[in-house]
């Protein structure tokens, strides 16, 4: 081990302690775990709802994504294909609360669909609150994700496989059963596991669309136990169950080989397939586009008709924007700096082998993906209890939300930075070592200029995640910490949906501007 390992080691120890302390604080706060409630009706109801909604969300998302991915892979030349592939990435970047508002505008009681049905003479008002609303929102987020993952999986197969299928005249159902399904099947476990993981840990969607205590995941239950009932022991019990659920799923995910990589749209042109899109395909493409675009369009429309004159004079909006901006900027910088320290330590800090390297690798993996097993709401819950009776609560709460957000962004930041860092190491690693470029000098002379764009892209992703996060911020809202998502939630709670739509529009514009900048950088990066 050498000096290059130190910052990375400090990160692993620091974040590791941050996570462990959050859990310890939570478990010590109450009067012991109420284990007798494990078999109680409430826990059973939450468990049933959590598993039901996550299984159904996963099944529906995959059922919709499978034909879409196959279609997009088979037909590469139709007008709008690239736009649709990009549209599939949009929900991934959209803050959940913003999407929820868009979904309400379309599918809510006073939404576009209800109005349309009534104008056709049907006396129907859709009720989106409850399991159906949760499923709708989860499918809105996860169908595009699943489609992109499956499309990327197909695109990674050798082009000759599909050329051979073309040559043999395998089209339609025969092509699906003989070629595409056997190729996709091994990746489905990973895709399903990932979606299930996201749905089990769903907080914002269930909180806003669940429609009350009868529809709660464990994350929502933790929030409610702390914010409304102030029952730390119950929150600790729910945390324990959530950890077991997430841990089991993570383990199963690792057994099936993890989620495939998302690199849709990378196939060379010549591997394309130029038959016209069949009728069922045209229908599917139109439905998918409408399903994804309608809430976004409704958001824009809602934003444009908001009472901006009144809204921009509201000091709470500017205060929330400032709070969100500062927290997101700090979280982004911390996440990028942390990822850099981890990557440097991993690549330059240890010899080729040895116990220290293996231990660090384990720590790197744990910190890099901790947020999947220990979600933001759990981290926030532990530290929320620690702030009771402490002076400068709002400031400390802001710092803690920032740290939770940084940790939450870390897996995504690492995913952007690690390949670029590895490429730079392959290219300049030996040369830099032979010239004695280490530490600060290596950062300034080599890493910063070479990796400036991946750093910027990673920072943009971290900002997007942080600025749209409701999980940790919602818990700390009790300490007068109001971010933009918390403000939207408060406005929705007081039935000021017009104002909520306006703030959501602002947040959406900010997020899409960041994504557009990141996309441009990605293009330049190649």
Partner 1 sequence: MIELRGVQLDLPGGARFTYDLSVATGVSLGVIGPSGAGKSTLLHLIAGFLQPVAGIVELEGVDHSRSDPSQRPVSMVFQANNLFDHLDVATNVGLGIGPAFKKSGDDLGKVVDALDRVGLGGFEGRRVSSLSGGEAQRVALARALVRDRPILLLDEPFAALGPSMRRDFTQLVSTMQKEKQLTMLTVSHTPQELTDLCDELAFINDGTITARGPVETMLNGSDNSDLRDYLGHPAD
Give the separation between CA 92 and CA 111, rounded to whole angstroms: 23
Interface pattern 442-471 for partner 1 (x via CB under 8 A): x-xxx--xx---------------------
Q: b/e map of 74-89 (b: 16 or more CB within 10 Å)?
A: bbbebeebeebbebbb
Binding-site residue total for partner 1 (CB under 8 A)? 19
Min dist. Cβ of residue 403 to partner 1 (A): 33
How deeply is 486 buried, as exposed, middle or buried, from its count of CB atoms within 10 A (0-12, 13-18, 19+)?
A: buried
Residue 437 in the binding site for partner 1 (CB under 8 A): yes
Q: Which stretch binds partner 1 (CB under 8 A): 103-111, 380-388, 438-446, 480-488?
A: 438-446
Interface pattern 11-50 for partner 1 (x via CB under 8 A): ----------------------------------------
Using CB under 8 A, which of 78, 129, 273, 428 touches partner 1? 428
- How many other C-beta atoms lie within 10 A of the C-beta of residue 235? 30
Residue 387 token pair: 């702030």
Using CB under 8 A, which of 312, 392, 431, 516 touches partner 1? 431
Min dist. Cβ of residue 437 to partner 1 (A): 5
The sign of the CA dihedral 244, 246, 247, 252 is: positive
Min dist. Cβ of residue 442 to partner 1 (A): 8
Using CB under 8 A, which of 433, 480, 494, 513 touches partner 1? 433
Using CB under 8 A, which of 286, 430, 513, 525 touches partner 1? 430
Which residues neighbour 88 within 8 Å (Cβ) at sequence distance 6 or greater? 144, 145, 147, 148, 264, 292
DSSP H helix total and E strand total for the chain = 23, 0
Output 109 or 427, the one with its CB closest to partner 1: 427
Output 125 or 453, the one with its CB closest to partner 1: 453
Ranges within 312-351 binding partner 1 (CB under 8 A): 351
Min dist. Cβ of residue 427 to partner 1 (A): 5
Contact 144, 91 (CB under 8 A): yes
Contact 327, 401 (CB under 8 A): yes
Query: What are the Cα distances from residue 40, in Å, to 234, 400, 466?
Result: 12, 33, 36
Min dist. Cβ of residue 417 to partner 1 (A): 18
Q: Which helix (H) or strand (E) holds 117?
A: helix 112-119
Give the separation between CA 326 and CA 44, rounded to whole angstroms: 40
- How many other C-beta atoms lie within 10 A of the C-beta of residue 105? 23
Q: b/e map of 345-365 (b: 16 or more CB within 10 Å)?
A: bbbbbbeeeeeebeebeebbe
Give the separation between CA 287 and CA 281, rounded to whole angstroms: 10
Output 119 or 353, the one with its CB closest to partner 1: 353
Ranges within 349-368 binding partner 1 (CB under 8 A): 351-352
Residue 524 in the binding site for partner 1 (CB under 8 A): no
Output 244 or 431, the one with its CB closest to partner 1: 431
Contact 66, 268 (CB under 8 A): no
Output 390 or 452, the one with its CB closest to partner 1: 452
Using CB under 8 A, which of 123, 436, 495, 524 touches partner 1? 436
Spacing of C-alpha 438 from chain mean position: 35
Min dist. Cβ of residue 355 to partner 1 (A): 16
Min dist. Cβ of residue 2 to partner 1 (A): 8
Using CB under 8 A, which of 39, 120, 228, 434 touches partner 1? 434
Output 219 or 425, the one with its CB closest to partner 1: 425
Min dist. Cβ of residue 451 to partner 1 (A): 10
Residue 118 in the binding site for partner 1 (CB under 8 A): no
Tokens 């070629």 belong to residue: 179
Give the separation between CA 140 and CA 292, rounded to whole angstroms: 7
DSSP secondary structure string for all residues of 348-389? HSS-SSSHHHHHHHHHHHHHHHHHHHS-HHHHHHHHHHHTTT
Give the separation between CA 51 and CA 47, rounded to whole angstroms: 6
Q: Which stretch binds partner 1 (CB under 8 A): 35-43, 358-366, 396-404, 432-440?
A: 432-440
Min dist. Cβ of residue 501 to partner 1 (A): 46
Q: Which stretch binds partner 1 (CB under 8 A): 119-127, 241-249, 327-335, 431-439?
A: 431-439
What's the half-sphere exposure (Cβ side, CA atoms, 13 Å) at 242?
Answer: 32
Using CB under 8 A, which of 314, 393, 438, 490 touches partner 1? 438
Residues that bind partner 1 (CB under 8 A): 351-352, 427-428, 430-431, 433-438, 441-442, 444-446, 449-450
């Amino acid at each position: 081990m050498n000096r290059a390992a130190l910052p990375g080691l400090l990160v692993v120890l620091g974040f590791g302690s941050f996570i462990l302390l959050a859990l310890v604080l939570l478990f010590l706060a109450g009067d012991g775990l109420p284990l007798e409630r494990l078999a109680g009706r409430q826990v059973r109801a939450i468990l049933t709802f959590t598993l039901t909604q996550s299984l159904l969300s996963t099944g529906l998302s995959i059922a919709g994504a499978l034909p879409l991915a196959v279609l997009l892979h088979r037909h590469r030349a139709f007008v709008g294909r690239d736009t649709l592939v990009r549209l599939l990435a949009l929900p991934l970047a959209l803050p959940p609360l913003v999407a929820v508002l868009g979904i309400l505008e379309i599918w809510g009681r006073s939404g576009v669909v209800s109005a349309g049905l009534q104008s056709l003479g049907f006396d129907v008002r859709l009720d989106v609150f409850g399991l159906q609303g949760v499923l709708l929102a989860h499918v809105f987020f996860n169908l595009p994700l699943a489609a992109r993952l499956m499309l990327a999986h197909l695109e990674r197969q050798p082009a000759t496989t599909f050329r051979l299928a073309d040559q043999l005249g395998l089209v339609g159902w025969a092509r699906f059963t003989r070629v595409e399904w056997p190729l996709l099947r091994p990746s489905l476990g990973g895709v399903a596991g990932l979606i299930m993981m996201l749905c089990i840990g769903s907080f914002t969607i269930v909180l806003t669309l669940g429609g009350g205590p009868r529809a709660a995941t464990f994350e929502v239950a933790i929030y409610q136990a702390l914010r409304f009932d102030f029952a730390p022991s119950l929150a600790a019990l729910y945390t324990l169950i959530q950890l077991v659920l997430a841990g089991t799923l993570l383990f199963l995910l690792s057994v099936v080989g993890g989620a495939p990589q998302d690199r849709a749209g990378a196939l060379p042109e010549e591997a394309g397939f130029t038959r016209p899109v069949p009728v069922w395909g045209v229908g599917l493409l139109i439905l998918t586009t409408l399903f994804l675009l309608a809430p976004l369009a409704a958001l824009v429309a809602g934003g444009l008709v908001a009472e901006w004159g009144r809204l921009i004079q509201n000091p709470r909006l500017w205060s929330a924007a400032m709070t969100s901006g500062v927290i997101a900027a700090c979280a982004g910088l911390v996440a990028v700096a942390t990822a850099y320290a981890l990557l440097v330590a991993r690549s330059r800090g240890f010899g080729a082998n040895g116990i220290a390297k293996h231990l660090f690798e384990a720590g790197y993996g744990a910190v890099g993906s901790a947020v999947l097993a220990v979600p933001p709401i759990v981290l926030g819950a532990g530290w929320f209890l620690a702030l009771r009776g402490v002076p400068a609560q709002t400031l400390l709460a802001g710092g803690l939300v920032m740290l939770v957000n940084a940790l939450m962004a870390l897996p995504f930041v690492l995913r952007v930075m690690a390949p670029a860092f590895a490429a730079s190491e392959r290219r300049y690693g030996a040369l830099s070592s032979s010239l004695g470029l280490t530490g600060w000098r290596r950062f300034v002379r080599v890493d910063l200029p070479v990796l400036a764009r991946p750093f910027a892209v990673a920072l943009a992703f971290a900002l997007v995640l942080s600025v749209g996060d409701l999980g940790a911020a919602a818990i700390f809202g009790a300490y007068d910490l109001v971010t933009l998502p918390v403000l939207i939630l408060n406005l929705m709670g007081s039935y000021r949906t017009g104002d909520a739509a306006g703030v959501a529009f602002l947040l959406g514009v900010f997020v899409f501007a960041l994504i557009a900048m990141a996309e441009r950088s990605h293009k330049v990066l190649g």
